[in-house]
Amino acid sequence: MERIELIAPCHFGLEAVLKREIWDLGYEISSVEDGRVTFIADYEDICRANVFLRSAERILLKAGTFKAETFDELFERTKALPWEKFIPKNGKFWVAKAASVKSKLFSPSDIQSIMKKAIVERMKEKYHVEWFEEDGASYPIRVFLMKDVVTIGIDTSGVSLHKRGYRLMSSKAPLTETLAAALIMLTPWRKERILVDPFCGSGTFPIEAAMMAANIAPGMNREFTAEEWTNLISKNAWYEAIDEANDLVNDKIEVDIQGYDIDGEVIKAARENAKLAGVEHLIHFQERAVKDLRHPRKYGFIITNPPYGERLEEKENLPALYREFGESFKKLDTWSAYMITSYEDTERYFGRKADKNRKIYNGMLKTYFYQFLGPKPPKPNK
């Protein structure tokens, strides 16, 4: 079986979470860089990676890496890569995205154009044709330049992996599914413990937690670009990955996962999303304000994405909202709270300094994952 490298991009600051996920799937990590983890696999593992990884944004088949400081070098070194190994004669290929950081070549459109020409020239020589119909499967190419080092990957996922297929309805400022899953995995929460999201919006945190609890793979109900790559991956490999995922599902479990929001319409959307994800029976959604947050049991978890106040008129309401949240949390004296927010006065109005704090980029927005830790529950008697 031929060994290849797969690149899994992720949110900046969450590389360790993705690395652990990849390791748990049984793969060897070859490198960890800002915003991506590269690992060793074979072509059929493209199926498993897309179906099972919760915190990866997409899976790229690594075509090559090299240094280029001029467009001539970019052309020649792109052309030197064995593109015919990946893309068949009728494959549709284009450079879908180029990004450059601290590199001499920085124009995305020029990088895309030159690389496309280089790939065409290589394919002309190898396939002995002057014109490509490009009427077959799609092979979108993504390139990233960092300090003049060019890394090229062919996108196996297509639509970003945060599109699980369940969120047809979303609230004003939804958290992506991949980010929500990664943040849950950053906490010690397990399915035996209580989880409450008092600002649940379209339900992303509770739904991702319920999917983890029931062992529902995130990519079970969607399609991937590489399903059409029959030159590299057999259809049977995709069926086997889905069969493996189906065998692991256990949705007959008992859990205590709750989602609250002050907006009744948003709660309706959250219930619909949970239904599409197949976990509506595992989550209790309720229209409820944060000042009414309470729970009779001890040692629970709050994991949430409270309002940031992106608009000026919303910002004025934030001190009162975070103060109410802090007062409710004080009464849950054995609980832990985890929140992602860009609001800079969070600790001041919440009324407590975070035990831990982690900077995370949500797209281009700098946010912080505040961690307010409660006591550990006593160990049960054997």
The answer to whether residues 92 and 53 touch, using CB atoms and an 8 Å cutoff, is no
Spell out the residues 6+ positions from residue 42 whose beta carbon is closer than 8 angstroms to its own. Answer: 1, 2, 3, 4
**pLDDT tens digits, one per residue of 295-346:** 999 999 999 999 987 666 678 899 999 999 999 999 999 999 999 999 999 9
127 vs 365, which has greater pLDDT? 127
The answer to whether residues 368 and 340 touch, using CB atoms and an 8 Å cutoff, is yes
**pLDDT tens digits, one per residue of 178-228:** 999 999 999 999 999 999 999 999 999 999 999 999 999 999 999 999 999
**pLDDT tens digits, one per residue of 144-158:** 999 999 999 999 999
**pLDDT tens digits, one per residue of 245-271:** 999 999 999 999 999 999 999 999 999
Burial letters for 33-54: b for 16+ Cβ neighbours within 10 Å, e otherwise? Answer: eebbbbbebebbbbbbbbbbbb
pLDDT of residue 315: 83
